[in-house]
Structure 1
C-alpha cells in the first residue's frame, strides 16, 4: 500500500510545473517549455532517505517512467531506442538516488541522521551532488542521441536547477514531517495530513500555472522575502509540523512563480548567474527555515527528555518526588486519601544481592501498584501513593489492597525468593497547594513509621494514639538537637568537664588526680548540651567516631596549652562509643593522636561499655590490642548490664571494671542489686581487675561499697562534674 501511495504521489507531483521559456546558451528547451522545479525528485530523494524498502522506491521510478511514456506518446511519436534510453537513464537515476541517500545518512527511518549537526552532509549530497548526478545522466542520454554540446549544456543546467529546487522545496520538509514524534504515534493522522498536503500542492500548482503572468502580490512576496522569512520564523517556532511544512512549501512555490519573469531572459552568462543566485537564495531561505524548525524540535525534545528524567528515578524508572509535585499541581481537587508506603529490608537486599536486585525489586513493586494507584518513589523503598479512585472509601480500599498484595508477594532474584515487609500510613488531605502536600506527606510518613515500630500489618491512619515521646514534634525536636550537636562537634564547640574517681575501700589514695572526662557541647546560641540530649542521636546518625576523636583532640589541645598541670594527673578516663569500634579510619586517627599525646600513655584509660565490648567483640578486641600496644589502660564501663555474658569477659583484656550505676544506686534497698555488685567484685577479683562504682551519691553508700570490696568510687558524693580547669588547678 505504501508503494502505491508513493507512486501515485510521484505521478501527481509531475503536474506541478513552474514553466518558463528558458534559452540558456541561446538554446531552447528540447521538450518545449522548461520548469524551474521538479517536485517529484524531492519526493523520491525523501523516500530513499526515509524508507529502507527498495521496492517502494523502485515502484515510484516505474510509475514515473510510465507516466512520462503516457504523456510523451500523446505529444509526439516515440521511437523504441529513445524510450529504451529514457528507461535506462531512469534506472541509473534510481541507483544514483539510493547511493546519495546512503551518503547522506539514510535509509534509517529519518531519525538517526536527521539532526541539525548532520545538515552539512545533507546540503552537500542532497542539494549539490544528487541533482548534479541526475542532470549528468540525462545530459549523457541527450549527448548519445547526437544533440549539440550547447543543447546538452542547456539541458544539463536546466535539469540541475530543477532538481536542486525540487529537493530544496520538498525533501527536508517531508523528512521533518514524517519523522515527527507526535505524527509517528498516529499513523492514520499522518497519512491524512500528507494527503491534504498533496492536494493543497496540486491545487496551488494548478491555480498558479493557469494564471496570466506574474501577479503583483506574488512579486510583493518575493520582493519582501526577508519580511516573509521573518514571519515564517514565527510559524516554524509556533506551529505544528502538519501546518508549518505545507505552508513553507507553498511560499517556496509562490517565490518560484514570481521568478519566472526573470527566467524568460536568462540567455547570457550574467543573466543565468543572476537567476541561479535568486534560486539559490530561495532554497537557502527554505533551508534555514526548515533548519530553524529542526533546531527548535531538538530543543523541545531535549527539554522533554530532561523533564522526563527529572520526573523519574534514573535506575528504576519510577516516578519520583518531582513527578509527585507536578501531579499534585495538576489535580482538580484534593485526593480523598494519601498513602505512604515503607518497604522494609531494602537496605538488606542491597547489601546481600546488590544494586541490580534492589532496582529490579522496586520495578516489580511499581508494576504491582500501578493498576490501582499512582506511585511516586522518594528513594530507599519509600513511596507516596495517590489512589486512582475519587471516593474516600474506594481510595482507602485500593491502598489496603496494595498493602495486601505486597505482603504476600514473593520476589525472585537469581533463584532466591525475597519477601519485603511493607508498612502503610494514611493521611487525608485538607486541600491542594505545596504546603498541604508537605503536611500530608509528613503525616502519612509518620503513620507509616509508627506502623513499622508497632509491627502493624494493616494501614495505619495518621493521628492515631501514640506515646508522647514518639510524636512528630518530639522527633523533630530531637532531630534539631542532633543537628545542633553535630554542628558543634564540627565547629569545635566542645567543653570538657571532669569528674574525680576516689579511693573508697580504705586503701592508699592515688598520688595524683584520677577522673573521667565528660563531654559537653556548646550550641551556636550559647546553650550547653548534656550527653543525654545528643548522644543517642549522634550514635544512630553515625557521628560517634567524629565525636570521640574531637573529645580526645580537645583534651590534648588543652593539656598542651597547660603543661604545668600534667604532673598532677595519674589517670584520665576517656569514653569511647561502641559505634566507633567498627571504623578502621577511627582506629588510624586514634593511633595518630596517641603518638602525639601530651600525657604519658599509661595515664590514659579508655572506657568502653560492656554491651559494646560483647556485641562487637571482634572489633573491641582489635582496638583493645592496639591500645594495649601503645601502653594505655582499659576499662569496661557500665559493667553488669551484660551480666549474662560473664563467661566471655575473660577474652576482653581490660584493667578495670566500672560497675553500672543502676545497680549501685539502690543496693542499700534492693537485695538483687547488692548481689549483682557482690558478683561483679568477685569477677573482678578473679581476673585481677580493679573496680570502680558509679553513682556513689551518699557517704553510707560509699562505706558499704568499700566493705564489699569495691576499690574506687565515682559520684556526686565524691565530686561533681566540673570544668577541667577546676579539677586540675595549676
Structure 2
C-alpha cells in the first residue's frame, strides 16, 4: 500500500513535471511564434523599403530617357513612399542595427535635394549635366542605400531563421516528452498538433497583414486581386470584372511633419477604419504602404445595402461616400486633423493582371490629385491619348534635333498711317514626314506641358534672329516678334539665354520683340514682371498679346514693363458691325496710347476694318487682308513696297 502510494506520488510527480514541461514548452512555443510573426512582418517592411528604393532608382534612370513620361509623376510620389518605409524600418529595427538604419534614413533624406537638382536639370533639357549628376551623385548614393538595406535584411533574416530553428527544436522536445506516458503524450500531442496548426495559420495570416492598421498589406491585396481575376476568368462573360480603387490621404506628409509620426500613425489607423465602414462586407480594404489604401470591389454593380431595389455603380458611389466620410475631422489625442482624399478607380480589362490593374488605379488617383477632382476613373482611351502625346513628343524631339521639319513663316505688321511694313511676327510650322503639315494648335500645347518647350523656343529665337540679321545685312532693319510661352518666360535662365543668342546672332535688342499673353501675367505676376524687366534691359521690346481675353489685365497693365499692346481679333473682326466691339477697340487704343504703348490690331480681313482702325488712331495692324504668314523668301517685295 505504502509502495503503491509512493508509486502514485511518483507517477503524479512525473505527470506534474511532464505537464509542467508541456505547459512551459507551450508557453515558450507561443512566445516564439509571436516573435517569429513580428520578425516576419518586420522583414516584410524591410523588403518593401528595398523594393521602393530599387523602383526609385529605375524611375530616376527612366526620367532621363523620357523626361515627360509617367515615370516623372510616379517618381515624386514614390520618393515620399520610400522615405516613409525607411522611417518605419528605423523605428522597428533591433537595437544592434538601429544606428545603421537611422544612418540610412538620414542618407535618404539627404538624397532628396540631389534628386530634385537632377530633375531640374532634366526639365531644363540639360541632358549632359543631368547624366553627370545621375552617374556621379544619384546612382552611387542609391546603390549604397540599397546595399545597406540589404545588409540589414540579411542579418535580420539570419536571426529569423535561427529563431525558427529553435522553435522547431522545442517542438521536437515536446513530442519526446509526450511519448514518455502514452495517454498523457497522446493528449499533449493532440493539443500540440492543434496548437501548431493554429499557430501556422496565424503566421500565414500575419505575413499578409499591415502591422500598423491590421489591414491586408500590398502582397496580400495583390493576391486577392489575382484570385478575383482568376474567378472572373472561370465564370466568363456573365461575371463583372473586378475593380480596384486606390485612395490617398491628401496632405498626410504635412501632418507627419507638423505633429510627428505618432499622430501620423493614429491618422492612418483611423483612416483605415473609416474606409472599412464605407465598403461592403465582401469588399477588401488594404493598406498598400505610406498613406495609400486600396479597395477591391469584386462586383461593380450590386444592390445597395441601404436601398435594396436600387443598383449603383459602386465605384462612383463609394467615391462620393469617401469624400463625405472624410469631411469630419479626426480627433487624435489632443490634436484635431482635417484631411481629404483623392481616389482613382480602374476596372480590369481582358488579359490584365493584378499589377496592371493596380498601376491603372494608381494613375487615375494621381490624375484626380493633380486636377483636385477627388475622384477619377481610368479610361483606356486616355491611355491611348497619352501614348499619342508621347509619340508626338518623340517626333518633336527628333524634329528639333535634325531641324529640317521645322520652319518659320512671317506675317507682316503694317503701319496704318503710311502703309509700310513695320515688323513681322515669326510663326512656327511643322512638316511631319508622315502626317504632313501639323497645326501649331496641335503641337504647341503639347510642347508647353513639357520642358521641351525650352528647346523649341531656343530654336525659334535662333532662326528668327538669323533671319533678322540677314534682313539687316540687306539694308532692311526689320523687328521680329516671337511668342514666348508661360513656362519659358517663368524659367529663371531664359533672359540669360536670350542675351547669349542676341550676341551670337549679332542682332541688336531693338530688332527683337517678345510677345506674352495675359494668362502668362496672371500665372505669376511677380516673376513675369521681373523677367520682362531683364528682357527690356537687353533692349528687346515686349508686347502683350491677345489683349482683352484675360480677366485681370487692367490691374497689372500699368505696372508691366511693356512697349506694345495687341488687341485680340475677337474684338477687331466685329468692330464694323457691332458698336460694342468698336467701343472696346477705341478704348483699348486710347488706353494704350495714354500708357505710352504702340497699339497693334490683329485679324484684319478686309479694307473697311483697316480704315476704321486708322480712323481711331490704331498704330499697326496685321491680318490676311495685308498678308498671310509666309516664308521669308516670299516677303522681299512686300517689305520694300508700302501699301497705299
Q: Structure 2 length normalisation: TM-score?
A: 0.55
C-alpha distance in structure 1 between counterparts of 2:584 and 2:253, whole Å: 39
C-alpha distance in structure 2 between counterparts of 1:503 and 1:523, whole Å: 32
Matched, 1:406 2:325: yes
| Alignment-derived partner of residue 390 in structure 2 | 483
C-alpha distance in structure 1 between counterparts of 2:387 and 2:431, whole Å: 14
The match for 1:333 among 212, 231, 236 is: 231
| Alignment-derived partner of residue 393 in structure 1 | 303
Gaps of 5+ in 2: 1-12, 33-93, 97-159, 183-191, 194-202, 233-238, 306-311, 640-644
Confirm or deny: 8 A CA contact 2:532 2:542 kept in the other structure: yes
Secondary structure in structure 2 of the residue aligned to 1:516: strand
| Alignment-derived partner of residue 425 in structure 2 | 516
Structure 1 residue 680 displacement after superposition: 0.8
The match for 1:641 among 549, 557, 574 is: 549
The match for 1:661 among 548, 556, 569 is: 569
| Alignment-derived partner of residue 63 in structure 2 | none
| Alignment-derived partner of residue 551 in structure 1 | 457
Structure 1 residues 658 and 482: alpha-carbon distance in aligned structure 2, compared to 1, 3 A threshold: farther
Secondary structure in structure 2 of the residue aligned to 1:393: coil
Structure 1 residue 435 displacement after superposition: 6.3
| Alignment-derived partner of residue 131 in structure 2 | none
Correspondence list, 1:496-507, <5 A: 496-507=407-418
Secondary structure in structure 2 of the residue aligned to 1:674: helix
From the CA coordinates, give the structure whose radius of gyration is larger: 1
Structure 1 residue 602 displacement after superposition: 1.4
Q: What per-residue deviation string (whole Å, max 9, x for no partner) do you get for residues 262-315 of structure 1?
A: xxxxxxxxxxxxxxxxxxxxxxxxxxxxxxxxxxxxxxx9xx99x98xx99x99
The match for 1:678 among 552, 572, 586 is: 586
Correspondence list, 1:210-609, <5 A: 325-331=222-228, 333-334=231-232, 338=243, 340=245, 345-346=250-251, 364-370=270-276, 372=279, 373-375=283-285, 384-387=294-297, 392-393=302-303, 399=318, 403=322, 406-411=325-330, 415=335, 417-420=337-340, 433-434=351-352, 472=379, 475-476=382-383, 478-493=385-400, 495-507=406-418, 509-510=420-421, 514-521=423-430, 523=432, 525-539=434-448, 541=449, 543=450, 546-556=452-462, 560=466, 564-567=470-473, 568-609=476-517
Secondary structure in structure 2 of the residue aligned to 1:716: coil
Structure 1 residues 482 and 695: alpha-carbon distance in aligned structure 2, compared to 1, 3 A threshold: farther
C-alpha distance in structure 2 between counterparts of 1:569 and 1:315, whole Å: 72
Gaps of 5+ in 1: 13-42, 51-110, 114-171, 184-189, 204-241, 244-300, 463-470
C-alpha distance in structure 1 between counterparts of 2:370 and 2:161, whole Å: 60
C-alpha distance in structure 2 between counterparts of 1:378 and 1:716, whole Å: 59
C-alpha distance in structure 2 between counterparts of 1:178 and 1:607, whole Å: 77
| Alignment-derived partner of residue 611 in structure 2 | 703
Structure 1 residues 448 and 505: alpha-carbon distance in aligned structure 2, compared to 1, 3 A threshold: same
Structure 1 residues 481 and 682: alpha-carbon distance in aligned structure 2, compared to 1, 3 A threshold: farther
| Alignment-derived partner of residue 616 in structure 1 | 524
Structure 1 residue 349 displacement after superposition: 5.5
The match for 1:195 among 166, 174, 183 is: 174
C-alpha distance in structure 2 between counterparts of 1:520 and 1:317, whole Å: 59
Confirm or deny: 8 A CA contact 1:338 1:440 kept in the other structure: no
Confirm or deny: 8 A CA contact 1:482 1:534 kept in the other structure: no
Structure 1 residue 636 displacement after superposition: 0.5
C-alpha distance in structure 1 between counterparts of 2:430 and 2:252, whole Å: 32
Paired positions, count = 453
C-alpha distance in structure 1 between counterparts of 2:253 and 2:433, whole Å: 38
Q: What per-residue deviation string (whole Å, max 9, x for no partner) do you get for residues 650-688 of structure 1?
A: 100110001111112222233222211111101111011
Structure 1 residue 500 displacement after superposition: 1.8
Structure 1 residues 546 and 719: alpha-carbon distance in aligned structure 2, compared to 1, 3 A threshold: same
C-alpha distance in structure 2 between counterparts of 1:692 and 1:685, whole Å: 11
Q: Structure 1 length normalisation: TM-score?
A: 0.49
Confirm or deny: 8 A CA contact 1:340 1:382 kept in the other structure: no
C-alpha distance in structure 1 between counterparts of 2:16 and 2:495, whole Å: 81
Q: What per-residue deviation string (whole Å, max 9, x for no partner) do you get for residues 81-106 of structure 1?
A: xxxxxxxxxxxxxxxxxxxxxxxxxx
Matched, 1:630 2:538: yes
Q: What per-residue deviation string (whole Å, max 9, x for no partner) do you get for residues 540-597 of structure 1?
A: x3x2x53144233344157559964443451111111123343324445444444434
